[in-house]
Structures are given as C-alpha cells and as structure tokens.
Amino acid sequence: MSHDDAAVEHSLPGGGRDNARFRAVARVCIPEASALDEGQWRDAEGIVARALAGRPASVRRQIALFMRVLDGLALVRHGRVFTALPADRATRLLESLSRSRLLLMRRGVWGVRTLAFMGYYARADAARAIGYRAAAAGWSARGESGVIT
C-alpha cells in the first residue's frame, strides 16, 4: 500500500488535509498525543476510521460538519483556523463549546473527544504503556498467574 493509499484509507470525516483537524483535536484532548510519530498517528486514525465505517453516513456527515465548524469558529474568534491555533486557544475554544447553550455543539465536542480518546488509547502501544491487559476471553485468559497468555 502506498502512502497515498494509506491516506485515503484513513481519511476521517472533516479531518482536513492529512487529518490535520482530527490531530489538532486529539492534541487538545490528549496532550501526550503531541509525541506520536507518523506511524502511531496512522494507527490511531485507522482505529477511528474503522469504527466510523460501521456508522451511518449521516453520522459521518455530522462529524465532518462539526470539524469544519471548529475551523469557522476559530477563524471568527481568533483569526486562524483550528489547526493553526496555539494549544491554549484551541483548548479554550473546545472548552467553551463543551459548555455551549446549543446541545449540538456540546455533543459535537464530546463526540470528537471520544473519537480522539478511542484512537489514542486503543493503539497497542498505548495499552501497554498504561498497563491495560484486558482480553476478549475475560479473566480466564489470565490463568493462574494473572498474566494474559
């Protein structure tokens, strides 16, 4: 698979060029995401892309619209698109939207935040780093020693 094929495969709704909007949201929600390398970003984006593939097209359109609204609001409030905002301003914008009177804005923030968490923490690297050892087989997979086999 070429780099272009990977970019198309993991293109997220409203993510912008090379999923820059998604990455910017993830960096705000999970500051540690700033340290991800390109391969780790592709893993996170792939996880989110696969999860969204099973959702209705209307849900994907809503996410895309919200991500574009983030750019528009950032441009109006700060004179820059969301991806160009310094971390403190991007954080304040998302926090203000999470307290908005408009339910759709609050849902949008919580939705993209959830996707960012899913992409970041569902990666095998992150699971190992935080000591997550769940298995599909449940506790029986741990055996007598308590270690997943």
Question: Which residue's entry shows tokens 């929600």?
Answer: 29
CA-to-CA distance for 51 and 54, rounded, in angstroms? 6
Give the pLDDT band (50/70/90) at residue 45.
very high
Question: What pLDDT is recorded for position 12?
Answer: 85
CA-to-CA distance for 130 and 138, rounded, in angstroms? 18
CA-to-CA distance for 26 and 112, rounded, in angstroms? 8
Q: Which two tokens stand for residue 28?
A: 């705000």
Q: What is the pLDDT of residues 47-93, one digit of tens each?
A: 999 999 999 999 999 999 999 999 999 999 999 999 999 999 999 99
Question: What pLDDT is recorded for position 6?
Answer: 45
Give the pLDDT band (50/70/90) at residue 144.
low
Q: Which two tokens stand for residue 84?
A: 């160009």
CA-to-CA distance for 98 and 106, rounded, in angstroms? 4
Question: What pLDDT is recorded for position 40?
Answer: 95
CB 78 within 8 A of CB 89: yes
Question: What pLDDT is recorded for position 11?
Answer: 80
CB atoms within 10 A of CB 49: 20
Question: What pLDDT is recorded for position 1?
Answer: 44
Question: What pLDDT is recorded for position 129?
Answer: 83
Give the pLDDT band (50/70/90) at residue 99.
very high
Dihedral sign computed on CA atoms, order 107, 111, 112, 116: positive
